């Protein structure tokens, strides 16, 4: 995906990075007898441990999400029959995920209701609980598709550029240099004979670092709206004539994401119990002189493309509200089915986040995100619109995640 430019400088820097990574790993590794690692991965459990479930969603959305995962998994397995996907610290054959989805699909076709479907799942599947190190609790957050006002051409109301992928952005696959780093990528740019980090948000917004290097794919009314789209991964651009376009994630500058809410929490500008994307947006609307300082505290910057249709996840298929989840695909198997139990969030009259009861759903691993890391994180997709925005902004609850694998076929997947 990238050209070979700045040859010697790039190779020298990458070699240094790889060597340094290897040395650090050796220097910090502790003897097993001194500090045994906590169990981490997926643990097969009895249905009694899952307890009462009772899916709170509709059957049609479940079938839609199931069909999308199955279509993706079959296509990938046909391209590479021996392909494996992540399963905690190890791997599992993608063919096994295909089998799980096919069995679920047959159960859905034979069931007249979601209750009958759940009964078949309990009879034919084993739940595998996601377990992070040191028994860390699963944190479930929410995301949605924001709708922002914008234009495809600049005018007096729309003057903030939304950028496409820069032509000088380089994606370097570290696995090309060292097998142990397979699947890891760094992004940057070539400066002379050196490979350096890409421009930060401050460079781009304050110093016009992308002038002549990236196309402007759309224009927004303010800085906050496209930032919200960055955080959510995609959004809908409502044009002046009332028509809509999807602005979807295309790439990122490679710099680490930092939650901008932290600076406002640390400065006591927003109380922790009222913190949300909506609260941050309201604060910045009331304090426009703070916009650049607050947003620039996050050096990460996302580039977009304009397209048609619905928001798509990392598998390339449209996301299903209430059924698609974003997880860390380095430890969760792509496309796999699961049970997710958490709380349905809402805010009381004071604006504090409270639970509106249990939220129990059959879900599918169909997306990922820069801030979703490890076995203790899941991001739940709420859909599009004001209600979805409010739910996603308020959602930050503990939960439980159970991967679903058919009974009899699985004891313990081979770990490598």
Q: How many CA atoms lie within 13 A of 384 on its CB side?
A: 20
Nearest to 146 by CA among 389, 319, 366: 389
Distance of alpha carbon 13 from alpha carbon 8, whole angstroms: 9
SS3 209: coil
159-185: pLDDT as tens digits: 999 999 999 999 998 888 898 888 788
Distance of alpha carbon 262 from alpha carbon 282, whole angstroms:
16
The pLDDT of residue 13: 41
Give pLDDT tens digits along the chain (416 positions).
Answer: 333 334 434 444 444 444 344 434 343 333 333 334 445 899 999 999 998 888 989 999 999 999 999 999 999 999 999 999 999 989 999 999 999 999 999 999 999 999 999 999 999 999 999 988 776 789 999 999 999 999 999 999 999 999 999 999 999 988 888 988 887 889 999 999 999 999 999 999 999 999 999 999 999 999 999 999 998 888 999 999 999 999 999 999 999 889 899 999 999 999 988 888 888 999 999 999 999 999 999 999 999 999 888 888 889 899 999 999 999 999 999 999 999 999 988 777 766 666 677 899 999 999 998 778 899 999 999 999 888 988 898 888 899 999 999 986 544 444 33
Residues 6 or more apart whose Cβ sits within 8 Å of residue 203: 209
Name residues whose C-beta falls within 8 Å of residue 45's C-beta, 6 or more positions apart in sequence. 127, 128, 129, 402
Which two tokens mark 358? 């249990």
DSSP 36: P
The pair of three-digit structure tokens given for residue 160, joined into one six-digit string: 């903030």
Residue that has been written with the tokens 């391209």 in this structure: 79
Report the DSSP beta bridge partners of residue 215.
none
pLDDT the model gives residue 370 = 74
Instruction: Please spell the DSSP secondary structure of 145-174, one letter per residue.
Output: E-EEEEESS--SS--EEEE---TT-EEEEG
In this structure, CATH architecture of domain 41-143+314-406: Beta Barrel (2.40)
Query: For 368-395, where are the E strands, in sequence order?
Result: 377-384
**CATH 2.40.40.10 spans which residues of the chain?**
41-143+314-406
- Residue ranges matching CATH 2.40.240.50 in the chain: 145-307
Contacts of 53 (CB under 8 A, 6+ apart): 118, 339, 341, 360
**DSSP letters spanning 83-138:** -EEEETTEEEEHHHHHHHHHHHHHHHHT-SSHHHHHHHHHHHEEEEEEE-GGGPPE
pLDDT at residue 180, rounded to an integer: 86
Q: What is the pLDDT of residue 136?
A: 78
| pLDDT score at 39 | 53
Listed residue (225, 77, 260, 95) closest to 151, CA to CA: 225
CATH superfamily of 145-307: Barwin-like endoglucanases (2.40.240.50)
Separation of alpha carbons 172 and 186, rounded Å: 5
| pTM of this structure | 0.76
Q: Determine the length of the chain.
A: 416
CB atoms under 10 Å from CB of 157, counted, come to: 12
SS3 of 182, please?
coil
> For residue 19, what is the enclosing H or E element?
helix 7-28
Q: How far apart are CA 117 and CA 143, in angstroms?
A: 27
Torsion angle, CA of 56/57/59/64, rounded to 10 degrees? -140
């Amino acid at each position: 995906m990238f050209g070979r430019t700045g040859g010697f400088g790039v190779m020298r820097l990458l070699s240094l990075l790889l060597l340094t990574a290897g040395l650090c790993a050796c220097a910090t590794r502790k003897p097993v007898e001194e500090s045994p690692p906590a169990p981490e991965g997926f643990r097969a459990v009895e249905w009694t441990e899952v307890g009462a479930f009772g899916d709170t969603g509709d059957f049609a959305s479940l079938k839609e999400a199931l069909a999308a995962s199955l279509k993706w998994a079959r296509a990938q397995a046909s391209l590479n029959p021996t392909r494996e996907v992540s399963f905690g610290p190890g791997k599992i054959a993608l063919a096994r995920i295909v089998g799980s989805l096919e069995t679920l699909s047959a159960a859905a076709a034979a069931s007249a209701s979601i209750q009958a479907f759940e009964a078949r799942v309990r009879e034919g599947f084993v739940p595998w609980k996601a377990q992070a190190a040191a028994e860390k609790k699963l944190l479930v957050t929410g995301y949605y598709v924001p709708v922002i006002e914008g234009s495809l051409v600049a005018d007096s109301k729309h003057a903030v550029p939304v950028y496409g992928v820069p032509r000088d952005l380089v994606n370097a696959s570290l696995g090309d240099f060292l097998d142990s780093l397979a699947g890891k990528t760094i992004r940057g740019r070539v400066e002379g004979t050196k490979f350096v980090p890409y421009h930060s948000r401050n460079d781009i917004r304050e110093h016009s670092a992308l002038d002549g290097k990236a196309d402007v794919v759309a224009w927004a009314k303010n800085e906050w709206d496209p930032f919200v789209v960055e955080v959510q991964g995609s959004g809908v651009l409502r044009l002046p004539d009332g028509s809509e376009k999807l602005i979807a994630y295309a790439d990122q500058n490679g710099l680490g994401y930092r939650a901008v809410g932290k600076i406002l929490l640390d400065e006591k500008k927003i109380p922790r119990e009222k913190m949300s994307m909506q609260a941050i947006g309201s604060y910045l609307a009331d304090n426009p002189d703070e916009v650049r300082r607050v947003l620039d505290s996050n050096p990460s910057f996302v580039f977009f493309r304009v397209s048609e249709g619905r928001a798509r996840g990392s598998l390339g298929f449209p996301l299903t509200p209430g059924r698609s989840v974003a997880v860390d695909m380095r430890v969760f198997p792509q496309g796999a089915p699961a049970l997710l139990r958490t709380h349905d969030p809402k805010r009381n009259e004071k604006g504090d986040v409270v639970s509106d009861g249990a939220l129990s759903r059959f879900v599918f691993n169909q997306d990922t995100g820069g801030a979703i890391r490890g076995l203790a994180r899941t991001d739940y997709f709420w859909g599009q619109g004001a209600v979805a925005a409010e739910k996603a902004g308020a959602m930050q609850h503990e939960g439980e995640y159970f991967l679903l694998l058919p009974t009899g076929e699985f004891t313990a997947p081979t770990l490598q």
